[in-house]
Amino acid sequence: MKAEIGLVWRLLEVILFFAVIMGLVAYMTLMERRFLGFFQVRMGPNRVGPQGLLQPIADGIKLLFKEDLTVSHARRFYFTLAPIISLVAILACFAAIPMSGRFHVADLSLALLYIMAFSSLGVYGVLLGGWSSGNKYSLLGGLRGAAQMVSYEIPLALALVGVVVLSGSLSMTEIVQAQEGRWFILRQPLGFLIFLTAVSAETGRTPFDLVECENELVAGYQTEYSSMKFGLFYMAEYAHVLLASCLATHLYLGGWNGPLLPPLAWFGIKSFLVFFFFIWVRATFPRLRYDQLMSLSWKALMPLALANLLITAALVVYPPFG
């Protein structure tokens, strides 16, 4: 009986955890729209509820009740499966993200490897969505997305190896504990810049949003999607940005470490600042050309990531020179 009660309680904890994640994803959209309005000297959404606080709920209801259309030339099974893969792959990563020393779903010893593996599955949703739509613009968007994500995953992984070398662990908890005296952003400034650039491309954020470049590809791989199928892709994109903000906080900004405030508060503040940085970049920089996008990965980030890893390894092996 006690085992059954413990299982039910654990299940409720997991449900509550992911409910909080989905709530954060919903209100991240409102935060971005309000900040973009501020940057562009205009009003953001402020009509639904006090100061527009109910706008994400209104958007969700609108998507839920919109007519769900599937074009006749689409491959129906894969067309439906694609947005599910995109969202589930990202949400699965949050199971290994501790919000503080005690608030997490699972404390995995190989958490970083687990996160990299599941986050990489998101590319299948993008590629499958573009191919199954039976639309040349959607297919081009899916192919662009696949090439972009695969290209930037390599410098991203190399940047993360530098963190693993310094901490000596793949556990997110142990990586945070290794930064109690000195955050890794101070020891890995180049790795941090490579990480931010690579995850911006991985999540399709400006200036790397070539997968849904409206002046060339309409809406890219999302062109034929409507209602909650489009909503799942939309949520997957912002969940990916939230995951990137959490990872940057844990890997380079000391995680929940900080004075005076509770650990959960420090984690929230740091993650918010990283997300604000993504919004700031979107409001500031124009979109790159596709050849510039690929050249940046293979000709700039890749050599820099390799150099960063070699220097990090040398300083760990020969600490008197660190």
DSSP states along 145-208: HHHHHHHHHHHHHHHHHHHHHHHS-S-HHHHHHTTSSS-HHHH-HHHHHHHHHHHHHHTT-TTS
d(CA 320, CA 182): 17
Residue 57 has pLDDT above 70, yes or no: yes
Quick one: average pLDDT of 53-62? 86
**Whole-number pLDDT of residue 217:** 60
d(CA 75, CA 81): 10
**Whole-number pLDDT of residue 214:** 59
Residue 218 has pLDDT above 80, yes or no: no
User: In this structure, which amino acid lies at residue 128?
Assistant: L
pTM of the model: 0.89
Residue 92 has pLDDT above 80, yes or no: yes
Q: What is the pLDDT of residues 148-207, one digit of tens each?
A: 888 898 999 999 999 999 988 898 989 998 988 789 998 899 999 999 999 988 887 878
d(CA 313, CA 295): 26
